[in-house]
Structure 1
Amino acid sequence: MAETAPSLKQTLAGRSLYLVGMMGSGKSSTGRPLAERLGYGFVDADAVIEQAAGCTIPEIFESDGEAGFRAIETQVLSAISQRHSLVVATGGGVVTQLENWGLLHHGIVIWLDVAQEQLLERLRADDTARPLLQQPDPAAAVETLLSERRALYAEADLTVVIQEETPEQVADGIMQLLPTLLKDPTKSRRD
């Protein structure tokens, strides 16, 4: 039987949840209802990066390149990881920097795994400026990024394969799957 949200929150003991996955996988749209169900705060790391930099992510890429953006992303992730009881929607490339994994593992890492064709549909329908897709063939760019990152995403503590589920349904699924990762120390003492 699935744990109720209050007992799940107690079992989590303040550990934050970090949602990873490709751009368009639904990290922000899933993170908000997931945080609400847990009684956690929600943080969109990209929004924090823009706030910290005082400009948009495309502007950061334009002025400092991807390396400059990744440096700011790591600084922001480091600050976020000092807090607890958060659901964090990370940027799609956060997993490409080895030092970020040490920060991510302060909490539980959840990969939102969406098929490439579905990602392309979502990205075409979204008007968000995505610097890594500003190429003549965005579909090829998505394919390349996904092939480069898939093994990194697979290092997550939990993988959630998404088909046609709504963000709310994905959040509910995560709520059902989380107890399989967590062991309540009080139960093991009684065994």
Structure 2
Amino acid sequence: MAEKRNIFLVGPMGAGKSTIGRQLAQILGMEFIDSDAEIERRSGADISWIFDVEGEEGFRKREERIINELTQGQGIVLSTGGGAVVSKDNRNYLSARGIVIYLETTVEKQYQRTQRDKKRPLLQGVDDVRQVLEDLAKVRNPLYEEIADIVLSTDEQSAKVMATQIADLIDNFNN
């Protein structure tokens, strides 16, 4: 059997990267890694705390180191944080070391999916969450598109259907 290529999931918060990634890894018999969870595991602190203490810049440096390291492995499904693509280095690591799948979603869907989530530092303590999501989309969506090999909308499908669809696309991609 041919070596399994890395699969990297990028997209905004609330697009379903972690949920779909877990399902996809299971279908493909690959290891699933969530870069945010890995940062939390290694630092012994949650993302919100890192943001509070080190700011977004400190968090992004940690994220860059982790993504560089993780993308050098083989046969992983990696779910990245929504802002990982802001770093040019991260975009280079991802696009050079695997198949990048941009899980696209609307700001409205993001808003619905993240409304009660208290683990999103960029959405905490803001007056207009929708506006924050729109501002992030303006900056980040072109970056997701820049490195994507495949773009899929997650608005209408379940995670399981999306994971199966991606597995089929990957199969075609490798042939």
Same fold, judged at TM 0.5 (above): yes
Residue in 2 that maps onto 1:59: 49
Q: Out of 87, 112, 116, which is 1:97 matched to?
A: 87
String of CA shifts for 1:127-172, please: whole Å, max 9, x gaps.
2421111211111100100111110111211101122211001101
Instruction: Go from structure 1 to structure 2 and tell me whether the alpha carbon gap of 1:166 and 1:128 turns closer, same or farther (over 3 Å shift).
Output: farther
Contact 2:7 2:78 (C-alpha < 8 Å) held by counterparts = yes
Q: Which residue of 1 aligns with 2:67?
A: 77
Aligned equivalent of 1:3: none
Shift in Å, 1:29 = 0.3
Rg larger in structure: 1
Q: The residue matched to 1:154 in structure 2 has which SS?
A: helix
Q: Match of 1:158?
A: 150
What residue in structure 2 maps to residue 43 of structure 1? 33
Give the partner amino acid of 1:176. D
Aligned mates of 2:101, 2:90 — CA distance in 1? 14
Aligned residues: 172
Q: Structure 1: which 5+ residue stretches go unaligned?
A: 1-9, 184-191
RMSD: 1.3
* TM-score w.r.t. length of structure 1: 0.86
Letter in 2 for 1:153: Y
Is 1:143 the counterpart of 2:134? The answer is yes
Residue equivalent to 2:77: 87
Tell me, in whole angstroms, the C-alpha distance in 2 between the residues paired with 1:145 and 1:158.
Answer: 21
Aligned to 1:92, what secondary structure does the other structure show? coil
Any unmatched runs of 5+ in structure 2? none
Identity %: 38
**For 2:41 and 2:72, how far apart are their aligned partners in 1?**
18
Deviations 1:109-140 (A, max 9, x none): 1000011111111111x424211112111111
In the TM superposition, what is the alpha-carbon distance from 1:51 to its structure 2 partner? Answer: 1.4
Q: For 2:101 and 2:57, locate their aligned partners in 1 and report how far apart those are by CA, in whole Å.
A: 24
